[in-house]
Amino acid sequence: MNKTWWKEAVVYQVYWRSFYDSNGDGYGDLEGVYSKLDYIQSLGVDVIWLNPCYESPDVDNGYDIADYRSVMPKAGTMATFEKLLAAVHNRGMKLIMDLVVNHTSNQHAWFQESRSSIESPKRDYYIWRKQPNNWRSYFAPSAWTYDETTGEYYFHSFSDEQPDLNWENEKVREEVYDFMRFWLDKGIDGFRMDVINLLAKIPGFPDAERPEDISYLGNNPGIHEYLQEMHDKVLKHYDVFTVGEIPFVNPEDGVLYVGEERGELNTLFHFEVCDYMAHWDLQRFKKIQDRWYECLWGKGWNSQFLNNHDHTRVVSRFGNDTVYREQSAKCFATLIHTLPGMPYIYQGEEIGMTGIRFDSIDEYNDIAMKNKYKEEVGKGRDSEAVLKELQHLSRDNSRTPMQWNAGSQAGFTEGQSWINVNPNYKEINVEQALADENSVFYYYKQLIALRKSNEVMVYGEFETYLDQHDQIYAYTRTLGEESWLVLLNISEQPATCSISDLGVGKLGDIVIGNNPERTNQDAVIDFLPYEAVVYRV
Ligand code: TEU
């Protein structure tokens, strides 16, 4: 397996608008990220992934871009961006940006021109039809919106404010490659590519048999040609790293995106856990890991994440955000840092931040949730019931401000935050975590540091044990002489396993764990709820 810097990296995702507000306008900003670089660096991470900060009307929090070459005023200025990038590099870290090119904002000049007339030279930058088909979009009941100016419908995979670009048009592709070079030439270290497998559409847009299954939006003929062209014309000329966001993908197809021989992407995010596994299901999770490992190992590289700005915080969704909050946070941290693939930490995860339950729909901002709420209430359903149903997976669960301290607004802003702070900030915050040597923060720090001096965490082969056990996840990572045994009780109940049943040989030192009482002398291990332990064997 080729060694590269990015395979060995740990990524920290900064959702800047909720990270730190430097100017009191209630939005986090790039200056705020700059001023917190000490904190980020102290964790030991290698790469920062910055969510979109381009000019945008912000209907979908920056994922609706109006100008790819400028910075939105809420985030700051180009000068601040450059200062931030230089500072990240000075500290030996790297920075990747979001590349959102499946769609633009409807406020983008291209779309304004495209919609102005059927004859417009930019008409074909987007997808126009006289008749819609029956497809849904992610955020709207129809993937088509009628535009009065020309009496036609345009296509959008997300909200009607996010028209999809027409990738069949070579001019569109050249425009995209051009501004990718613009940012790469500034020195950024790569891209996280938003819904990158959606670029190619099914020819002719035939009606779907089951429109509610929106997987017709992705993985369509032509997608690999686009990505190979992008690689050839742009990416291969830089020493950068790419991670594609690839919904609806199975491991057999996943390898087509990230196979090292294919010249497309370096790594991917698949959503078999975060989209399809609403609640924790260890058996299912084990199978997902096995299949991806079988298909990718030796051929392409994977990612590990359990939450992000779209997916509810891991302790609230998969773990326990009350009595076992810290234990479960550490247990899941051990999991993502010891499985094969690059670990991603979403801001606040490293202090065990939790999801929220706002009382009223007005307190929410997420366009996915708000549109769904409107649609369901519009059918005559009870609004309280709809709110309850949508709360658990609302994207705002992970978008509340970073909790820095117990002061007003969690120390996030001196103004009024754009989205309410999680009321538990007095107990859960960075200041508290830094003052407690047993905190989740220091556990993450320890895991990250281990990766730096133990290649087995990166390049080690993966083998599982106790496959039928529905509480314990047991596996080894092995590289040459070095072998680590990871044992995780991912449940709220105690669990037991006897080492002889595993057949892994003799237990050596404990590398890391979240139970200070654990020793390597146990022949039978009685695990605490959410106990994690890693042994040398
Ligand atoms: O998300 C794409 C997307 O909607 C799914 O992959 C995701 O799993 C979904 O949110 C289901 O819960 C990306 C961005 O991450 C998201 O913030 C944007 O809203 C979206 O694209 C459109 O650009």
Give residue-wise pLDDT tens across range 224-278: 999 999 999 999 999 999 999 999 999 999 999 999 999 999 999 999 999 999 8
Surface-to-core class of residue 215, CB atoms within 10 Å of its CB (0-12 exposed, 13-18 middle, 19+ buried)? exposed
Where along the chain do its domains lie?
6-103+170-364+396-446, 109-155, 365-395, 460-536
- Going by their DSSP bridges, the two strands 94-99 and 47-50 should be labelled as parallel
Q: Which atom of ligand 1 is nearest to the CA of 269?
A: 6
Q: Which percentage of the chain shows pLDDT scores above 70?
A: 100
What does residue 44 show for φ and ψ, rounded to 5 degrees?
100, 5
405: exposed, middle or buried (Cβ count in 10 Å: 0-12, 13-18, 19+): middle
Question: Does 310 contact ligand 1 (Cβ within 6 A)?
Answer: yes
495: which strand partners?
527
Would you say the CB of residue 144 lies under 6 angstroms from ligand 1? Answer: no
Instruction: For ligand 1, pick from 162, 268, 310 the residue to mutate: most ligand atoms within 8 Å of CB.
Output: 310
Between 504 and 355, the higher pLDDT residue: 355
Cα 69 → chain centroid:
23
Report how far residue 108's alpha carbon sits from residue 117's, in angstroms, rounded to the nearest whole number: 16
Residue to mutate (ligand 1; options 16, 138, 243, 396; most atoms within 8 A of CB) = 138
- Position 233 scores a pLDDT of 98
Work out the average pLDDT over 295-319.
98
Question: Does the C-beta of 271 come closer than 6 Å to ligand 1?
Answer: yes
Report the Cα 192 to chain-centroid distance in Å.
9
Q: What is the pLDDT of residue 36?
A: 98
CA Rg, the chain, in Å?
23
* pLDDT surpassing 80 at residue 1: no
* Residue 175: active-site member: no
Nearest residue (CA) to ligand 1, atom 7: 310
3-class DSSP string for 484-529: EEEEEECCCCCEEEEHHHHCCCCCCCEEEECCCCCCCCCCEEEECC
Question: What's the longest Cα–Cα distance across the chain?
Answer: 78
**Range 304-329 average pLDDT:** 98
User: Token pair 């970073």 is at which residue?
Assistant: 402
Decide if pLDDT at 505 tops 90.
Answer: no
Work out the pLDDT band at 523, boundaries 50, 70, 90. Answer: confident
CATH number among 1.10.240.10, 2.60.40.1180, 1.10.3720.10, 3.40.140.10, domain 460-536 = 2.60.40.1180
Tally of CB atoms within 10 A around 2: 7
> 14: which strand partners?
50
Question: For tokens 């613009």, what's the residue?
Answer: 182
**pLDDT tens per residue, range 397-442:** 999 999 999 999 999 999 999 999 999 999 999 999 999 999 999 9
Distance CA(98)–CA(192), nearest Å, equals 5
Percent pLDDT > 90 in the chain is 97
| pLDDT at 198 exceeding the cut of 80 | yes
Q: Please state whether 187 falls in left (phi above 0), alpha (psi between -120 and 50) or beta.
A: left
- pLDDT grade for 504, boundaries at 50, 70 and 90: confident
pLDDT surpassing 90 at residue 501: no
The whole-angstrom separation of Cα 389 and Cα 46 is 38
- Say if ligand 1 is within 6 A of residue 367 CB: no
Domain at 6-103+170-364+396-446, CATH homologous superfamily? Glycosidases (3.20.20.80)
Record the tokens describing residue 180, joined without a space: 């990718």
- What is the pTM assigned to this prediction? 0.98
Annotated catalytic residue 98? no
CA-nearest residue for atom 3, ligand 1, is 195
How confident is the model at residue 383, as a pLDDT? 97
Number of C-alpha atoms within 13 angstroms, CB side, residue 326?
Answer: 16
- Under the phi-then-psi rule, with left for phi > 0, alpha for psi from -120 to 50, and beta for the rest, what region is 216? alpha
Looking from the CA of 421 toward its CB, the CA atoms found within 13 Å total 29
Spatial distance between the Cα atoms of 384 and 360, rounded to a whole number of angstroms:
9
- How far from 390 is each of 15, 357, 361, 382, 399, CA to CA, in Å? 22, 10, 10, 13, 15
Question: What are the tens digits of pLDDT across the range 43-102?
Answer: 999 999 999 999 999 999 999 999 999 999 999 999 999 999 999 999 999 999 999 999
191 C-beta closer than 6 A to ligand 1: no
Give dist(CA 108, CA 162) in Å, integer.
Answer: 10
Write the CB contacts of 137 (distance below 8 Å, at least 6 apart in sequence): 143, 156, 157, 158, 159, 214, 217
Q: What is the pLDDT of residue 196?
A: 98
What does DSSP say about strands 128-129 and 152-155: parallel, antiparallel, or unpaired? antiparallel
Count the helix, strand and coil residues of the chain and give each as a percent rounded to the nearest 5: 35, 20, 45
- Cα atoms in the 13 Å half-sphere on the side-chain side of 110: 23
In degrees to the nearest 10, what's the CA dihedral of 313, 319, 322, 323? -150
Integer Cα distance of 479 and 9 in angstroms: 18
Q: For the domain bounded by 109-155, which CATH number is listed?
A: 3.90.400.10
Pocket lining: 373 vs ligand 1, CB cutoff 6 Å: no
Quick: pLDDT tens for 342-366: 999 999 999 999 999 999 999 999 9
Tell how strand 67-71 and strand 532-536 pair up: unpaired
Q: Which residues pair with 392 in a beta bridge?
A: none
Dist. CA 412–CA 18, nearest whole Å: 8
- Output phi, psi for 47, to 5 deg: -130, 140
